[in-house]
Amino acid sequence: MPDPVVTVHDFTKRYGDFTAVDDISFEVHQGEVFALLGPNGAGKTTTLECLEGLRKPDGGVLSVMGVDPTREPRRLRNLIGVQLQTSGMPDNITVREAMNLFSAYHRVAPRLDLLDRVGLDGKLSTQYEALSAGQKRRLQLALAVAHNPPVVILDEPTAGLDVQSRVELHSLISELQGQGVTIILSSHDMAEVEKLANRIAILLHGRIVAAGSPRELTTHGAGLTKISIQTERATVSELTTLPGVTQRSARDGYDIYYSTDPAATVLTLLEHVKKYGDTLIDLRVERPSLEERFLEITGGKEAIS
């Protein structure tokens, strides 16, 4: 396997006595989308900011294409593109001026095509403060990638965006990945991460508590299958024990079971429906979602929106 593009090895960051990131390690390879997930305060932004050279680690080694972000900030700046959580953009700068400024900083021609690509071609003379939240995020992403950086770091790239804007940004991120760009992002949006990321690290209290592809993360863990059933007379609710079932709940007219032996559970449920002359309305057998797995790993420390 070729050398990783980004290496984080035994990385620790403290704020005073408080350890925000506690000895974490991960590697990201070229063309991968790597996601950091975790509840508020888990250490995601701190990790990204150290990779961006904005903060100095207290321990460990960070490297972006062989460059130490704190020691060699000048070399780093053309290697990475950064879309920050808060932009720090002057309120009265126009979209065109912002692109000119960022392009001049990186010594590349202004990328009006990118503004077009993110749907801001009609807003070139609009001041930053007059852009909607979604338009600001799109502009920030366009500015982050205007100099064609091989690595892009995105801190909650679609936070607060409507569905349409989110889908558009997802397609832009996938397009960048298709061009071989390596992307590291943090997000609270499980569907987004499940869709975009090749690999995920779940952070909790500054430590990586689980890592792997979305599929690996959802198939490991308790190994439970979710079975949801709805019948006309809800006779299955009477069943007190079911083979393989370790947890049960009810929601929106469904009885929901988490089972280690889904075939036996489903068979017993269907036999019961038949025996009592009930009618099956819906039956779903699903692998737990990333969201459910995340809640299992983090102990439900976050209400996911």
Contact positions vs ligand ATP (CB under 6 A): 15, 18, 20, 38, 40-46
- Minimum CB distance to ligand ATP, residue 46 (Å): 3
- The smaller minimum CB distance to ligand ATP, of residues 158 and 265, is found at 158
Determine the Cα angle at 300 with ends 213 and 7, to 5°. 35
- Minimum CB distance to ligand ATP, residue 31 (Å): 25
What whole-number distance in Å separates Cα of residue 87 and Cα of residue 137? 9
- Minimum CB distance to ligand ATP, residue 177 (Å): 23
- Minimum CB distance to ligand ATP, residue 13 (Å): 8
Determine the Cα angle at 266 with ends 261 and 271, to 5°. 130
- The smaller minimum CB distance to ligand ATP, of residues 18 and 241, is found at 18
What whole-number distance in Å separates Cα of residue 167 and Cα of residue 185? 16
- Minimum CB distance to ligand ATP, residue 160 (Å): 13
- The smaller minimum CB distance to ligand ATP, of residues 287 and 301, is found at 301
- The smaller minimum CB distance to ligand ATP, of residues 29 and 207, is found at 207
- Minimum CB distance to ligand ATP, residue 49 (Å): 8
- The smaller minimum CB distance to ligand ATP, of residues 240 and 305, is found at 305
Name the residue among 193, 229, 231, 226 with its Cα closest to residue 212. 193
Length of the chain: 305
Residue 130: helix, strand or coil by DSSP?
Answer: helix
Residue 170: helix, strand or coil by DSSP?
Answer: helix
Q: Is 127 exposed, middle or buried (0-12, 13-18, 19+ CB in 10 A)?
A: middle
- The smaller minimum CB distance to ligand ATP, of residues 83 and 228, is found at 83
What whole-number distance in Å separates Cα of residue 53 and Cα of residue 201? 21
Both tokens of 302, joined, read 């976050």
